[in-house]
Structure 1
Amino acid sequence: MKKILLGLALASGCLMAADGAEIFKKCIACHGAKAERVAPGSKGGVTIAGMDKTRIVEQLKGYEAGTADNGGAKAIMYANMKNFKLTEADMEAVADYISKLPPVK
């Protein structure tokens, strides 16, 4: 019985884990399906595909706090972070997903 309960607990934890690919679907309009597009108004023509996970999390937290500034689209990101209501686990998951996408050359 204990093994069954432990198995159910582990399975439910896996189901509750954040899915970075699913979360990223909210970002496709500006960043592209594979994060290959330069977001509107961003500085330096940078795409986020393959970007360092830690950097992405920092940026997401900055947008959530209203302090990140990568160009003219910051107001869009500020609003999106308020609307999406990402948890820290969500931010980690989507950052992990984006960091593993092939960088644009």
Structure 2
Amino acid sequence: MNKIIKIVAVTALMTPALFANTAACKGCHGADFEKKALGKSKVVKDMSKADFIAAMKGYKDGSYGGAMKGMMKGQVAKLDEAAITAIADELKLK
């Protein structure tokens, strides 16, 4: 029972953070992730889940991105692999 309570508590604490991350993304990428951020990025909704996850990991370690690499590195710095995957799932990327 204690494990269930802990899992529910952690999930409840993480959920607002995930929504906050996607809300921040929508400012540049559009409400439905249909825009090229600042006219330079790929359209996120057109990416595969694997490509999205690889891009986010690449932004984190500096191995991915062009002109907006520095901005995105800061945006994804606090996201761990589980959060990145959760965002991809929330976006329903295939």
TM-score by length of 2: 0.74
Equivalent residue number for residue 64 of structure 1: 60
Conservation of the 8 A alpha-carbon contact between 1:57 and 1:95 = yes
Query: How well do the aligned residues superpose, as a CA RMSD in angstroms?
Result: 2.5
% of aligned pairs identical? 28
Task: Compare 72-81 and 89-98 and name the one that shifted more.
Answer: 72-81
Structure 1 runs of 4+ with >6 Å offset: none
- Structure 1: tracts of 5 or more residues without a match: none
Shift, 1:41, TM fit: 4.8
What is the number of residues matched between the two proteins? 92
- What residue identity is the alignment partner of 1:39? A
- Whether 1:88 aligns to 2:81 is yes
**Greater relative contact order: 1 or 2 (C-alpha under 8 angstroms, separation 6 or more)?**
1
Shift, 1:77, TM fit: 1.0
- Structure 2: tracts of 5 or more residues without a match: none
